Amino acid sequence: MTTTRQQDDTIAPILRSFDHVLSQLSGASAAGKAMYQGRMLDTIKRLLKHPEGLAVIASRVDELESAGIFDGTDWAVPSGLVPGMVGNTLKFAEPQTVALECLSLLRFLAVARETQSRPGLPTEHARHFLSQVLALNLDRILGAHNEADRVAARELDDAVDSLFRHILETLGTEGILSQLVDEVWRILRQRPIQVDHVKSMILQIALAMNEKDQGFRASETRLGADRLISALFAPTQLCREDPGLAVYCNRLGAADTGILQAEASGMARAMHDTGLVSDYHAGFLRFLLESGQSHLVSDALGLSSTGLDSFRCYQALVQRLIEVAVRPGTAQAVLGIALMLERGILYSPPIAPSLWRLLGVKLTPACDAGLVAAFGADPTPHQRLVAGVMMLLGQPLGIGQGNNPTCQSARALSMWALNDPDYLLWLLAQATSNDRIVMHFEGQPLDSALLPAGLALHTPLDADPVSAVLVPHLDRIYAEMGRRVAGRGEDPHRWINPELHGWWVGREFHIAVDIMTGKLASYDAFIRDFHLAYHPMHNGNEPVIHPQPAGIAVTDSQGTFVGWHAISIIRVALDQSGVMRVYFFNPNNDSGQDWGHGIVVSTHGNGERLGEASLPFAQFASRLYIFHDDGLKTPSEVPVDASEIAAIRDLALQSWAMDRV
């Protein structure tokens, strides 16, 4: 009762102001409407930010329209509105205009629900309009944010996200089902570690398809949706009707060897097909170990000959990892274990002992509390952390920074998991045992426990378990490195990147802008040097030996500069069409982004491996502003054509470098 009363007291003055301004707007002359419209929209902004405000506005949208809130605006004739304009308005417009767009969407929703009617706006048109709007703004529905969203966060972003969820819950997914299915598959092809938001969307798709046939019984969309739904809720014959774990385990107990073999194969096939792991898969693996049938574990993991050899060499360790890390709630760890075995990293002498140490560690109270805050108490923090380590070691390019401005730390974790897992496990041992990590910068120790906070002020709540433990420490150390080089007059990453990430980072440093003025500096030479360092046709066909940190100038879909962002260059190679591409890691939960002027980052279909993003070499170079080189100069027999440099320069000057000449 106290909570409700406090909310009522908070919203009451806003409602009084709403009623007062609504009365003024309603009684104003045509010439005076504009002044009161602005006041009304300011009040609506306040309501949108209140937890109860959306429901209030939705119930009174008819009154607002009758009072003239849309008069004289582009929203006055709803039948003439274009769904494709809504997303950009909500992202880039002023708060008053965003509030007006939200009102317009609520008006369409009222018509779609048939609670209100509008002349010239049939119910079906309203539903179709909203379906298109939802389909065109899937990133907001799926909770996938890119750098532009994070950097340019707006006053009403949370309110807009709530509105989209409200529309989706009200209308259901049937109007956008095909788009949702395609988008879920697109994200899953990147094999992200964090898939909770994807699972939520699959659940909504399943509910929608269960309620109504949707009209595509045999369509590709239906088949794609069925594969996703079955992978989560019915991956094999014994759980085809989603009976619940208790019933499933009883069935396993009564199954013969042939049925269990079929279950193992079916579980593995569903997992590797989609990148999703069902809780039934976790239950199946636990049953195998508890019933003494561990000979089927490798089949249930779907291992190739490489993974199978690794499993046989380290069977006791793998089985213990499954016992600790794999259970309902951490089922994705199964995929991590399988892919870790396929990588063969257990053959590196320090890895197995480090994992045994992790299995036996007693977490400090602070570490324990941080994991509980991020994930809850069940499974236990230790079980959750071991599961997180398995996922990161199996999917080094699947880690994302969530909505935290910690791309440097996320990139470092990915790079260590890919290139130096021994070091990653050592850092984790320090954090879990002592609530600190110690790194060195130019010979001097940096103790995270003695440093002020960086950009991550709290335990990240929208990240994976390893990030939840390590990112606060890494962020403090990164910030301290920045403070120590702040007065050197050059970009601090010249010194920070090699010291933070590892010895393999090239000591030759190239930057496209002057650090003091922000203007382009020797840009043509910068582009030429990038070709000589990374392009196989110009560097003697030398591959990228170790992943290298780089910095990009992030631009939005209009090509407008958003900010600087940290990525890793993984490799440079020809795709199947003969196009030279840069394959890179973006520490984001979704790498597929539109950077404007036709530069759309690809995540599959152009030779990408799991977790990689890619662009044609020239397009990538046009957004690059920092890279490292190992300094092993190979005389190039193929000079870089001036026209190639000019084309890249033009792409940069049309976007992030427009005001930097």
**Bridge partners, residue 574, by sequence:** 580
What's the pLDDT score for residue 4? 37
Token pair for residue 632?
């092993």
- pLDDT tens sequence across 256-300: 999 999 999 999 999 999 999 999 999 999 999 999 999 999 999
Q: Around 652, how many Cα atoms within 13 Å sit in the side-chain half-sphere? A: 26
- The verdict on 513 and 637 lying in the same domain is yes
In a domain, 295, yes or no: yes
How far, in Å, CA of 147 to CA of 142, rounded? 16
- The verdict on 128 and 11 lying in the same domain is yes
What's the pLDDT score for residue 533? 94
- The verdict on 146 and 42 lying in the same domain is yes
Most distant CA atoms of the chain, gap in Å: 84
What's the pLDDT score for residue 562? 85
Considering 221-230, 400-409, 647-656, the range whose residues carry the highest mean pLDDT is: 647-656
- Domain limit, last residue, from 171, 203, 223: 171
Integer angstrom CA distances of residue 387 from 318, 332, 359, 465: 12, 8, 11, 8
In a domain, 475, yes or no: yes
In a domain, 493, yes or no: no
- The verdict on 6 and 155 lying in the same domain is yes
Mean pLDDT of the chain: 90
- pLDDT tens sequence across 55-104: 999 999 999 999 999 998 989 888 788 888 898 899 888 999 999 999 99
How far, in Å, CA of 275 to CA of 302, rounded? 12
- Domain limit, last residue, from 309, 344, 379: 344
- Domain limit, last residue, from 171, 200, 224: 171
Is the distance from CB of 37 to CB of 25 less than 8 angstroms?
A: yes
In degrees, rounded to 5, the angle at the alpha carbon of residue 391 between the alpha carbons of residues 373 and 289 is: 100
What's the pLDDT score for residue 172? 77
Count of domains forming the chain: 4
pLDDT band at 144 (very low <50, low <70, confident <90, very high): low
- pLDDT tens sequence across 310-356: 999 999 999 999 999 999 999 999 999 999 999 999 999 999 999 99
In a domain, 397, yes or no: yes
Is the distance from CB of 582 to CB of 544 less than 8 angstroms?
A: no
What's the pLDDT score for residue 1? 33
- The verdict on 335 and 352 lying in the same domain is no
Q: Which domain holds residue 417?
A: 348-484
- Residue 233 CB-density burial (10 A; 0-12 exposed, 13-18 middle, 19+ buried): middle
How far, in Å, CA of 311 to CA of 299, rounded? 11
- The verdict on 319 and 249 lying in the same domain is yes
- The verdict on 538 and 641 lying in the same domain is yes
What's the pLDDT score for residue 470? 95
In a domain, 218, yes or no: no
Quote the strand ranges of 556-604, DSSP E: 561-574, 580-585
What's the pLDDT score for residue 345? 97
pLDDT band at 219 (very low <50, low <70, confident <90, very high): low
pLDDT band at 154 (very low <50, low <70, confident <90, very high): confident
What's the pLDDT score for residue 143? 63
Lookup result for tokens 């049939």: 122
In a domain, 265, yes or no: yes
**Does residue 508 have a pLDDT over 80?**
yes
Quote the strand ranges of 5-97, DSSP E: none
**Bridge partners, residue 510, by sequence:** 627
- The verdict on 313 and 366 lying in the same domain is no
H/E run at residue 233: helix 220-233
**Does residue 492 have a pLDDT over 70?**
yes
**Does residue 7 have a pLDDT over 70?**
no
Q: Which residues contact 350 (CB under 8 A, 6 or more apart)?
A: 422, 425
What's the pLDDT score for residue 8? 45
How far, in Å, CA of 659 to CA of 567, rounded? 24
- The verdict on 293 and 438 lying in the same domain is no
- Closest alpha carbon to 80 in 29, 117, 118, 32: 118
Is the distance from CB of 108 to CB of 130 less than 8 angstroms?
A: yes
pLDDT band at 407 (very low <50, low <70, confident <90, very high): confident
**Does residue 6 have a pLDDT over 50?**
no
How far, in Å, CA of 56 to CA of 44, rounded? 10
In a domain, 130, yes or no: yes
- The verdict on 403 and 324 lying in the same domain is no
- The verdict on 328 and 459 lying in the same domain is no
Instruction: Calculate mean pLDDT across residues 136-144.
Output: 71
In a domain, 245, yes or no: yes
Is the distance from CB of 392 to CB of 399 less than 8 angstroms?
A: yes
- The verdict on 548 and 602 lying in the same domain is yes
Q: Look at 417 and 216; give whichever has higher pLDDT.
A: 417
Sign of the dihedral defined by the CA atoms of residues 437, 440, 445, 446, in that order:
negative
Instruction: Calculate mean pLDDT across residues 116-138.
Output: 81
pLDDT band at 218 (very low <50, low <70, confident <90, very high): very low
What's the pLDDT score for residue 274? 96
